[in-house]
Amino acid sequence: DTSRPLNFIERIVEDDLANHVVSEVKTRFPPEPNGYLHLGHAKSIWLNFGLAQRYGGQCNLRMDDTNPVKEDEEYVEAIQTDVQWLGYQWAGQVRYASDYFDQLHAWAVYLIQHGKAFVCDLSAEQMREYRGTLTEPGKNSPYRDRSVEENLALFAKMRAGEFADGACSLRAKIDMSSPNINLRDPVLYRIKHASHHQTGDKWCIYPSYDYAHGQSDAIEGITHSICTLEFEAHRPLYDWCIDNLPVPAKPHQYEFSRLNVNYTVTSKRKLKQLVDEKHVDGWDDPRMPTIAGMRRRGFTPQALRDFCEMAGVTKVDGVVDISMLEHALREDLNALAPRAMCVLHPLKVILTNYPEDQTETLVAPRHPQREDWGNRELHFCRELYIDQDDFRETTNKQYKRLVLGKRVRLRNAYVIEADEAIKDAKGQIIELRARVIADTVGKDPADGIKAKGVIHWVSAREHLDCEVRLYDRLFSDPAPDAGDKNFLDFMNPDSLKILHGCKAERSLAQATLNDRYQFEREGYFILDSRYSSADQPVFNRIIGLKDTWGK
């Protein structure tokens, strides 16, 4: 949408283009391949790729793969699938921070040669003690004054694998008394004897995020390096590296507030815990706020992009209401989803005055606003199913469905009147006897006694038997991981309901994994890409028709 007001990053970009600070916008989306992407990442993808699209620039996809221990090729692939599904394509090849390890290493040597980096033997714990606090300056490491020659020799040994993990590290020599803790001689390289998913066993030292990121941006010619607000205090270090190295370009970092959504956790670490401890059915469980989960659930990429846009880009931390996402989803689905009928809790109805051997083919529009989509055919006969919730023996005036002795309209079909409820030994209603009121397809009954409401139905002779999965929020608390709360304590026990023996109109036998439907009066549905088969279709409810949370 180009008519809305510009967000603050768009204004920066427009100014930079207008003032020839940059000739072209180049952004990047830099995930670490240590988990699947989630809703928060969708925001960053939308922002970075969206800027490049809007201003005719380019956006790179860069795997920020500096920590081999937690990373995996599975995630590298999932990230690409997710970005493309959201509707974006990166410029050229996928990039990897690890592509730059040789250059990053050469620049580390350059810093040592210029007296701006040193090998430090303090342990991680000692380093913490020396670092000081927000209110107290740090102390210089006793190894800070090693000579250039000694540092070069030690760094070469680090690289050659002569030291154990943690024995020493390479640190920038900046200022231990800086009020910004990130400038108190930050670590540039750590020893990690670990195989890397891209570089194998070539390296046993790995660059820190802070050291690798800005230099990777410079190598790729990124103009606007956008990250979340928690990196604001890292910007002086980002700039220090750029200013002190012979990099080919001078990128700038800009920060915006991360997307937080209520009833949701958006932290890869916590989502991974849900997967590893089997609280959910994998990263793509339809209840997960991962892009893979939302895709399997049936969310549309358009709805996610619209949501990111609605949530806006600011520097103020806040929590966005999940109903905003659900709203965007309903808007999109309402426009694109063909209509169908499916009975979730079937109750058999016998139409006693409808001949046993008669059948009719009724028609109904595929979409009420899309005449060009044409009609679907509905099989009508003496035996039907309606939903158990749509019949009561007696009730009050608010109940606009079928009641004994009263009439209801079957959607796209006849008006019927209920005569008798057949019960089993326990008193459960197992079947209903009713009558068709003649000549009422698209017309009111001639006797002037109108139907009280409209309900959906399916032929009991020709239909598709299916399973339906109803999802609800994974967490029942609006802030499941706030403060010291353990998010696992707030999982919604009713987040998944599996309904067997549902009855769908036969046109749904044609459904493919890409089709989303509105099941009239029930919500929006899609076949489940994991569990559905031609013999046993499984439909996921993407979302209900209305926001009923807490009602």
Does the protein bind Mg ion through residue 16 (CB under 5 A)? no
**DSSP bridge partners of 301:** none
Which of 268, 330, 366, 376 lies at the binding interface for ligand ATP (CB under 6 A)? Answer: 268
CA distance 297 to 496: 12
> Phi and psi at residue 198, in whole multiples of 5°?
-105, -40
Whether residue 64 is annotated as binding a ligand: the answer is yes
| Nearer of residues 266 and 518 to ligand ATP, judged by Cβ | 266
Q: Is 268 a catalytic residue?
A: yes
Nearest approach in angstroms of CB 492 to ligand ATP is 21
What tokens does 548 get?
């009923």
| Nearer of residues 194 and 421 to Mg ion, judged by Cβ | 194
Of 173, 235, 268, 297, which residue is the catalytic one?
Answer: 268
| Nearer of residues 31 and 57 to Mg ion, judged by Cβ | 31
Spatial CB neighbours of 94, under 8 Å, sequence gap ≥ 6: 61, 62, 63, 76, 80
| Nearer of residues 65 and 185 to ligand ATP, judged by Cβ | 65
| Nearer of residues 312 and 544 to ligand ATP, judged by Cβ | 312
Whether residue 402 is annotated as binding a ligand: the answer is no
Residue entry with tokens 């959910």:
280
For ligand ATP, which stretch binds (CB under 6 A), given 144-152, 174-182, 264-272, 374-382?
264-272
Residue entry with tokens 């619209």:
306
Give CA angle at 284 (281, 290), nearest 5°. Answer: 125
| Nearer of residues 304 and 460 to ligand ATP, judged by Cβ | 304
Whether residue 38 is annotated as binding a ligand: the answer is yes
Nearest approach in angstroms of CB 52 to ligand ATP is 15
For ligand ATP, which stretch binds (CB under 6 A), given 30-38, 211-219, 283-291, 321-329?
30-38
Does the protein bind ligand ATP through residue 251 (CB under 6 A)? no
Spatial CB neighbours of 212, under 8 Å, sequence gap ≥ 6: 64, 66, 97, 100, 104
Region of 427 please: left (phi>0), alpha (psi -120 to 50) or beta.
left
Secondary structure class of 192 (helix, strand, coil): coil
| Nearer of residues 98 and 495 to Mg ion, judged by Cβ | 98
Whether residue 523 is annotated as binding a ligand: the answer is no
Nearest approach in angstroms of CB 111 to ligand ATP is 24
Whether residue 139 is annotated as binding a ligand: the answer is no
Of 139, 157, 258, 348, which residue is the catalytic one?
Answer: 258
Question: DSSP label at 543?
Answer: E
CA distance 522 to 384: 18
Q: Are 152 and 176 in contact (CB under 8 A)?
A: no
- Around Cβ 22, how many Cβ atoms within 10 Å? 18
Which of 120, 204, 227, 455 lies at the binding interface for ligand ATP (CB under 6 A)? Answer: 227
Closest CA to 215 of 110, 297, 138, 286: 110
The site partner of 409 among Mg ion, ligand ATP, none (C-beta below 5 to 8 Å per kind) is none
Which of 44, 60, 495, 540 lies at the binding interface for ligand ATP (CB under 6 A)? Answer: 44
Task: Please report, as residue ranges, which positions from 31 to 50 form the binding site for Mg ion (by CB under 5 A).
Answer: 32
What tokens does 364 get?
């109904």
Whether residue 209 is annotated as binding a ligand: the answer is yes
Nearest approach in angstroms of CB 245 to ligand ATP is 22
Residue nearest to ligand ATP (CB): 40
Spatial CB neighbours of 381, under 8 Å, sequence gap ≥ 6: 354, 358, 359, 360, 459, 460, 461, 462
Does the protein bind ligand ATP through residue 289 (CB under 6 A)? no
Which of 31, 50, 289, 298 lies at the binding interface for ligand ATP (CB under 6 A)? Answer: 31
| Nearer of residues 267 and 314 to ligand ATP, judged by Cβ | 267
Q: Is 32 a catalytic residue?
A: yes
Write each residue from 61 to 100 as x if it is in contact with ligand ATP (CB under 6 A), else as -, in one continuous string. ---x------------------------------------
CA distance 363 to 345: 24
For ligand ATP, which stretch binds (CB under 6 A), given 26-34, 85-93, 165-173, 541-549?
26-34
**DSSP per residue over 386-439, as a string?**
EEGGGEESS--TT--SEEBT-EEEETTS-EEEEEEEEE-TTS-EEEEEEEEPTT
153: number of CA atoms within 13 Å, CB side?
A: 5
Closest CA to 370 of 336, 322, 394, 396: 336
Secondary structure class of 330 (helix, strand, coil): helix
Nearest approach in angstroms of CB 29 to ligand ATP is 6
Whether residue 258 is annotated as binding a ligand: the answer is yes
For ligand ATP, which stretch binds (CB under 6 A), given 35-43, 276-284, 408-416, 485-493?
35-43
> Phi and psi at residue 237, in whole multiples of 5°?
-75, -40
What tokens does 390 get?
């749509």
Which residue type is seen at 541? R
Closest CA to 393 of 404, 406, 408, 379: 404
The site for Mg ion, by CB under 5 A, has a size of 1
Q: Is 71 a catalytic residue?
A: no
Does the protein bind ligand ATP through residue 184 (CB under 6 A)? no
Kind of pairing between the strands at 339-340 and 252-256 = unpaired
Whether residue 359 is annotated as binding a ligand: the answer is no
Write each residue from 314 to 353 as x if it is in contact with ligand ATP (CB under 6 A), else as -, in one continuous string. ----------------------------------------
Whether residue 223 is annotated as binding a ligand: the answer is no
CA distance 117 to 111: 5
Instruction: Provide the annotated binding site for ATP.
Output: 32-34, 38-44, 228, 258-259
What are the residues binding Mg ion (CB under 5 A)?
A: 32
For the annotated catalytic residues, the residue numbers are 32, 258, 268
What are the residues binding ligand ATP (CB under 6 A)?
A: 30-32, 40-41, 43-44, 64, 227-228, 258-259, 266-269
